[in-house]
Amino acid sequence: MSELQEVQITDMQDPLKAAELAAKLLQMQEQKHCIETPYGVVTVTIQGTPKPKRPAIVTFHDVGMDHKMCFETLFKDEDMCEIVKNFVVCHIDAPGQEEGAAVYPVGYQYPSLDQLAETIPCVLQYLNFPSIIGIGVGAGAYIFARYTLSHPNTVEGLVLINIDPNAKGWMDWAAHKLTGLTSSIPEMILGHLFSPEDISLNSDVVRPYKTAILNSPILSNNQLYWNSYNSRRDLNLERGGDLTLKCPVLLVVGDQAPHEDAVVECNSKLDPTQTSFLKMADSGGQPQITQIIIIYHKKWKVNVIIGSHHFNQTQSNCMAASFNKVCGDYCHH
């Protein structure tokens, strides 16, 4: 991996100017790598500069998306200046889901979610990242959970948004098949991403996703990832058992989201001393993040702060203030 140029963001009085500079630095320092794995080529996008003795922040996106669609708003937010300065960010695109991907031939055997989880060690080895903090949404959340069960010593913490740790039961399977007879792939993916109310209102939040999915030039590839998600195995998490997530975990779900019950159940299966649960009111299916500061480690004195573009300005300002206060000690060490 070639050396990334580090540019200091000095004390700037205007936070908007600082945010603009931070966004420009991300663009300047962005590097893409295509990494061969046993389960296909994954594209990773690196933003920022690796820091010694600090984990990398690694993201994995949901179905119907690539990393930009899922996380770009977050990492362009003005309150991400400290993250830009202090951590390297690595976005993983599932095979065939990245912008400009070639369409797979008919009959292509797409990897399962378990196999996608095993692409992560290849990425970490290639980039020489000894440990990570994972942010996953939907299918990406499941992938990070599966990876962490197999490689617990490499994960410092997780933020799992809209995770469903359960395999589809027979009733779910039958309902999915029936839905497939009357609904298109874009409609089914949107039903996974958003609440029925959000979709019926065709809100400003839903509209760009709907447009992107309907007009996707790689819709057949998106369908393969969607099929793998619907064929996932049960994680078999057990509170107090051997099969559990042992790192700090933040579970996030929107009120009235399609995955609300699944996330609540997941919370009941994890160690309550290591797990935080956040249900975000009035955010529907996607508690989509514009600020998510995820460092949760006692020795760093840093907590988990989550924001959403569904929040009003007062709530956003409060979270930004909390972030700056919480991260201050760590980021100046």
pLDDT tens sequence for the chain (333 residues):
444 444 444 444 555 555 555 555 555 568 999 999 999 999 999 988 888 888 898 999 999 999 998 888 777 766 666 666 778 899 999 999 999 999 999 999 999 999 999 999 999 999 999 999 898 999 999 999 999 999 999 998 898 989 999 987 656 555 555 555 557 899 999 988 888 887 888 777 788 888 999 999 999 999 999 999 999 999 999 888 788 898 988 888 877 778 889 999 999 999 998 888 887 765 555 544 433 443 333 333 334 433 333 333 333 333 333 333 333 333 444
Name residues whose C-beta falls within 8 Å of residue 148's C-beta, 6 or more positions apart in sequence: 134, 155, 158, 245, 247
Structural domains of the chain sorted by starting position, each given as residue range(s) with its CATH number in brackets: 15-331 (3.40.50.1820)
What is the torsion angle, in degrees rounded to the nearest 10, for the CA atoms of residue 291, residue 144, residue 285 and residue 100? 80
H helix or E strand, kind and range, residue 222 = helix 219-230
Distance separating alpha carbons of residues 273 and 161, to the nearest angstrom: 19
Distance separating alpha carbons of residues 70 and 60, to the nearest angstrom: 9
Q: Which of 138, 142, 139, 125 is nearest to 90 (CA)?
A: 125
Name residues whose C-beta falls within 8 Å of residue 128's C-beta, 6 or more positions apart in sequence: 1, 50
Sheet with 56-60, edge to edge strand ranges: 31-37, 40-47, 89-93, 56-60, 132-137, 155-161, 249-254, 275-280
- Name the β-bridge partners of 37: 40
DSSP letter for each residue of 37-54: ETTEEEEEEEES---TTS
Distance separating alpha carbons of residues 164 and 197, to the nearest angstrom: 20
Residue 23's pLDDT is what? Answer: 54
Residue 52's pLDDT is what? Answer: 81
Q: Which of 15, 21, 27 is nearest to 79 (CA)?
A: 15
- Name the β-bridge partners of 306: 292
